[in-house]
């Protein structure tokens, strides 16, 4: 049975998520502004592994005391189907978006038993003028560039215990209030370490289902949750629902995803029905595809 919290109905259902591989990278610069610019560009076009090759986002900002070179920084997370799938993503995103950014440097953002090349490819931009220095157990490359040098650690850690696809769908009778509530949920999730919400602003308006009528399409609109199709298809929406927004969560661990979902759900239910939110549900495949199940009622 569903339950009601502060005027919001919580479906008795679960979010079904999948095992993934994930890595972390620390990007520093002379200012937090430029570290964030590099991080934002490096994680662009990273909403879904299906269409983008990886799911990417900013995990958190770092103070100078928290970074290897004592400068402001940002930690990004990148998720893919496997460690091998992450290799070209790291090479292209760091080479095209961080190496090119003024004052940037790049370091391992995850300590793990398995590692991936971080600076192994970008170092060749130095055209033979690059140099290496080993400090402790880590090797760093110094690549000459026009504003000085680009410093990049040779490797970063990778985990195969990551999780992609934790989710919640928020339904409402007021589009503006629904968006404000979803934004509050994303802000709450951002305070949880080791997770990202990879879609624009952390929010998805084009929820999808597996498969489509057209060949070559891996996914298509989740018609059961489209308000304009109510009355035309078998709908999951009541007559008062005007819009649905989804939040998708990826994390380095299953616990991190559960903690993030808990924080997001609390933000929604704390707001309650006063912004027009009527119901929270989640996307799943009947438990047949994803290894990780996050029951909404257990996270409230």
Residues 215-249 have pLDDT tens digits of 989 899 999 999 999 999 999 999 999 999 999 99
* Mean pLDDT value across residues 279-284: 97
- pLDDT given for residue 171 in this prediction: 98
The domain made up of 19-159 is a member of CATH 3.30.70.520:
yes
1: pLDDT strictly greater than 90: no
C-alpha–C-alpha distance, residues 20 and 114, integer Å = 14
Instruction: Return the DSSP state at 83.
Output: H
- Which part of the chain has CATH 3.30.70.520? 3-16+163-299, 19-159
* Mean pLDDT value across residues 120-143: 97
Give the predicted TM-score (pTM) of the model. 0.97
DSSP three-state, residue 129: coil
- pLDDT given for residue 288 in this prediction: 86
The closest of 59, 16, 20 to 40, measured between CA atoms, is 59
C-alpha–C-alpha distance, residues 275 and 263, integer Å = 18
Instruction: Return the DSSP state at 254.
Output: H
DSSP three-state, residue 17: strand
The closest of 99, 104, 114, 102 to 155, measured between CA atoms, is 114
- CATH for 3-16+163-299 is 3.30.70.520
* Mean pLDDT value across residues 114-133: 98
257: pLDDT strictly greater than 90: yes
Q: pLDDT (tens digit, 9 = 90+) per residue, 27-45?
A: 999 999 999 999 999 999 9
- pLDDT given for residue 136 in this prediction: 92
């Amino acid at each position: 049975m569903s339950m009601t919290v502060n005027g919001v109905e919580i479906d008795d259902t679960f979010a079904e998520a999948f095992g993934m591989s994930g890595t972390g990278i620390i990007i520093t610069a002379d200012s937090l502004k430029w570290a964030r610019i590099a991080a934002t560009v490096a994680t662009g076009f990273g909403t879904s592994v299906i269409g983008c090759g990886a799911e990417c986002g900013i995990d958190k900002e770092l103070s100078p005391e928290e970074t290897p070179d004592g400068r402001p920084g940002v930690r990004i997370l990148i998720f893919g189907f496997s460690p091998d799938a992450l290799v070209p993503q790291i090479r292209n995103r760091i080479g095209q978006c961080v190496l090119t950014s003024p004052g940037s440097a790049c370091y391992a953002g995850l300590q793990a038993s398995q590692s991936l090349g971080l600076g192994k490819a970008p170092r060749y931009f130095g055209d033979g003028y690059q140099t290496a220095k080993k400090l402790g157990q880590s090797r760093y490359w110094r690549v000459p560039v026009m504003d000085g040098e680009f410093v990049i650690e040779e490797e970063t850690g990778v985990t195969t215990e990551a999780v992609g696809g934790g989710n919640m769908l928020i339904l409402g009778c007021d589009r503006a209030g629904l968006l404000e509530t979803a934004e509050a949920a994303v802000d709450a999730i951002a305070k949880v370490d080791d997770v990202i919400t990879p879609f624009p602003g952390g929010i998805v308006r084009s929820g999808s289902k597996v498969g489509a009528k057209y060949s070559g399409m891996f996914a298509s609109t989740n018609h059961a949750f489209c308000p304009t199709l109510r009355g035309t298809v078998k709908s999951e929406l009541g007559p008062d629902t005007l819009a649905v927004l989804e939040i998708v969560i990826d994390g380095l661990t299953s616990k991190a995803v559960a903690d993030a979902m808990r924080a997001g759900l609390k933000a929604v239910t704390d707001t309650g029905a006063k912004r027009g939110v009527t119901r929270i549900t989640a996307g799943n495949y009947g438990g047949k595809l994803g290894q990780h199940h996050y029951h909404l009622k257990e996270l409230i």
